[in-house]
Structure 1
């Protein structure tokens, strides 16, 4: 271990990684960068280019991976991301760093960046990020991806019974989906102040069950914009505060109640949200998975509440 720590390439790779990723985190804190491909793709690649220029490539990459994990967990400490997001970032951050190091070896025309350990020279690849991140932020300002997620389930209760049970929830309990055991926000209760258009509804969340801390709590404030008892409950989100999810926004929450036969209800839950995360091809499926697990947890609790309140066995969801 002492020999490893004395290796200059190993030490420099740690320093470079902390400088590169530290710059990215600082740009996020200052509002100069977005949660985008510039941060998640370009930054790891240019870091890898610098790492690949170090003489001892093996120990340089090991030091870079170690420092990358440390730097990403700084996002947690700064409240800029949640544990799940950090975990999902690693699978493509590390390969992109490796890709950048490979590019250094293959690009013979950049001989001045090969097998050097001069820190100012090794910092040169950071320049594209310093230029691209603020430029992208200015171009994308106020532009967010709007996405809707829908979940449908049939309950063996009337629409009136389902509506009365879901409109205001005292305490949600039950088996949590697997993401909630990491740090996906866990719905705790929803309080409806006035049952009318314009009325306020507040949903409270607790964090995950990580022994290292509660990273995922917060609240979502909603205002009723459409209300037909046992038919439609649609709300605009007026304020939200979910810890570690600065990149995520919520637009609308809606419930639709449709009669199925004489005594069953098809409940449709739609969440409309915004996201700054790119590339979308990677992040959107993960976002939808998280929201669907939130829906599933609420529906499971609803089934339990209906059974407790009305004494009938819930129907099978579809």
Structure 2
């Protein structure tokens, strides 16, 4: 068991991490918004944790709180990501479709450039030596953090989808003008979805900084935006299980095929192409459609006519 965990434990953690990041993008999708901002909030959360856990200015607070300092970084990252999400979301979410996608890509790039030029973030080098929480000695132990967070987020998402807010999200996604005519405030609910996704991405970033032991500007890039978008589209953007399945699959395939050298990248690309062409609603959407399909009914026999 120890050999299995030492070999595949980090992969398991990154699969769960990818699912959480996919869910952070899933919330804006629920409200019909093509947002690619999650890597920016993820990077913000990671920098928040890395700075609070390594900067001498927080030394006294770290000494007094002990392991509670790690929990505090999650809370601070959530608050900062939520506030920034609100500030960015109010003007940006007046845009639609590809224009919103471009605006959120610009947001990610702005944060990356700013982090490259600040002293507190370590500039281009980044921040190293981020301590491990709760005495963790192996990276597979982070499943004890990311696993419960994933369960909590799934439970929250399930309740949200069944609530009035979730119904408003779906109404806006299907027809924003009709939803507005029915008394649903599109701007309010779109910003709400955006902020929820931002908070989740910020918390995941704060948990990920100790996992990686370092943090730099490469954590929040345009490439990361496309990767997280692929998690949602390949897994399915109409079900909360879609980002989880897509994130786990697209994270695991390249690693499991590592023995094939450069061919693993070709196979990974083929998976993306095939899924895009033949699974327009994602893997989970295809499975749901298959499960709802009924077997053909045999026609009833005609009654015999007695002469």
By the TM > 0.5 criterion, same fold?
A: no
Q: Greater strand percent: which structure?
A: 1
Give the TM-score normalised by structure 2.
Answer: 0.23
The higher relative CO (CA closer than 8 Å, separation ≥ 6) is in 2
Bigger proportion of residues as helix: 2
Q: Which structure has the bigger radius of gyration?
A: 1
Q: Normalising by the residue count of structure 1, what TM-score does the alignment of the two structures yield?
A: 0.22
